[in-house]
Chains A and B, each alone.
Chain A
Amino acid sequence: MQSRSRKSLMHDSVPGSSSPHGITKNILEMSLNQARGEVNMDAYLVLFSELVSYCRDRVESVMALQEKLAQLGYRIGRRALELILAREKVSRRETRLLNMLNFIASTLWNFLYGKQADCLKKVRDSELEYYIEEAEPLVNKYISVPADYGHFNCASFSAGIINGVLDSAGFPAEVTAKVLARNGDEDLSQQQGQPLTIYYIKFEPEVLEREKRLNG
């Protein structure tokens, strides 16, 4: 992914490669390895806000809206995992829990947002629960949540992506995005007032069982 550059937008055009239907290449003939470059962030965020309003107009409750966004993200996660694995040329995917979590917080994050996740932590006293903290999720940049939406967080979309990746990698889990108001307690005191997004990941017990088996 480091090789991503603005110049690499062009497809590699193999002379004479034509699909049976016409002059363009069949999707299966197109290279997956080449990074597709970059697009304008504002264009992306305006599209995302339309996606949110589209979903909002079709659900009854704030909870349902979160779920809908997560569903849309889920599809992305499933595809992103395959694409990343094909790109990174790794012939196997992670089977261990911690490695998988690191993959999410670094490789996946880098692929999606061009940076690493702010931090990955384990919930105290639980072997099944983890969370990823993010101060400024990309998708929330231009979103202001109305007061009557409570703890609604558009980053549910990103939570859905994580869920999609974990599910297709064989780590069934429940992933939710929460907002944490920073009120100066504990170790979150540096940036008071700015809400923090938490992606809370709770694995199914079977994941832990397998983990124990693999530990031998």
Chain B
Amino acid sequence: MSRPSLQALGDASFARSEHVSAELLALTYGSFVRQLVQDYESPSDVNAQLESIGYNMGVRLVDDFLAKSNISHCSSLAKTAEVIAKVAFKMFLGVSATVGVWSQDKKTFGIVFDDNPLAEFAELPEECAGLWYSNVLCGVIRGALEMVNMKVECRFERCRLRGDECNEIRVSLHEILVEQPPKGED
């Protein structure tokens, strides 16, 4: 097992990529979320919208990830979880995450992280108490995993903007999609 190297892989993938300033990301994301809050009535609608935006991003980012991270096939859900936390988070956001508590049936895990570049400079006003500000990340994980045949559901469990001590996304595996050969003539 090449366990210690995941972190190194994450660092290397991040170092290899081109960068933009984290402030630009935070301000752009903030402005985007603000627009959604303006356009949708309830925070739960905004959450759903953010998730679907993230899904589209994940579908595209997974290619980038597979091409640049040198990650080979993940043989188990446990490995997948480690790769998301240690390599993907590092490569895209420049922060490292850890895998949190697993559920009894070993199908749900947490991605726990302290620093969240998306949520810099942000504060949740009272009327947005139901908003999961960084919900786009849930969509990114779902979109990316779907492209590697894993159907998952993600939701925020803890968010520092809500006063929690860290951020946590719960990821539940629903099914592993079986690759179907395209229908047509034999």
Contacts and interface: CB of A to CB of B under 8 A. Distances in A.
A79 B61 CA distance: 28
A39 B160 contact: no
Contact of A39 (B36, B60, B64, B117): B117
Contacts of A11: 115
Interface string A40-64: 1111101110110111001000000
B72 interface: no
Interface in B120-139: 120-123, 136
Contacts, number: 132
B164 A46 contact: no
A24 interface: yes
Interface string B68-95: 0000000000000000000000011111
A21 interface: yes
Contact of A75 (B20, B31, B39, B91): B31
A97 interface: no
B165 A38 contact: no
B31 A4 contact: no
Interface stretch (B21-29, B98-106, B170-178): B21-29
A50 B53 CA distance: 6
A214 interface: no
A interface majority secondary structure: helix
A42 B25 CA distance: 11
Most-contacted residue by chain A among B18, B20, B39, B57 (CB, 10 A):
B20
A76 interface: yes
Nearest to A84: B23
A179 interface: no
Interface in B3-25: 14-15, 17-25
Contacts of A79: 27, 30, 121
Contacts of B24: 44, 112-113
Interface string B36-65: 100100000000000001001100110010
A112 B27 CA distance: 10
Interface residues of A, number: 42
B18 A41 contact: yes
B21 A36 contact: yes
Contacts of B123: 27
Contacts of A83: 23, 121
B19 A41 contact: yes
A10 B115 contact: yes
A138 interface: yes
B23 A47 contact: no
B181 interface: no
A46 B21 contact: no
B149 interface: no
A38 B92 CA distance: 10
A22 B32 contact: no
B34 interface: yes
B27 A72 contact: no
B28 A44 contact: yes
Nearest to A37: B22
Contacts of A47: 25, 28-29, 32, 57, 136
A38 B21 contact: yes
A160 to B, nearest CB: 9
Interface of B: 14-15, 17-32, 34-36, 39, 53, 56-57, 60-61, 64, 91-95, 115, 117, 120-123, 136, 160, 163-165
20 contacts: A9-B22, A10-B115, A21-B163, A22-B163, A23-B163, A23-B165, A24-B163, A24-B164, A27-B121, A36-B120, A37-B21, A38-B19, A40-B17, A40-B18, A72-B35, A76-B28, A79-B30, A80-B27, A112-B21, A114-B21
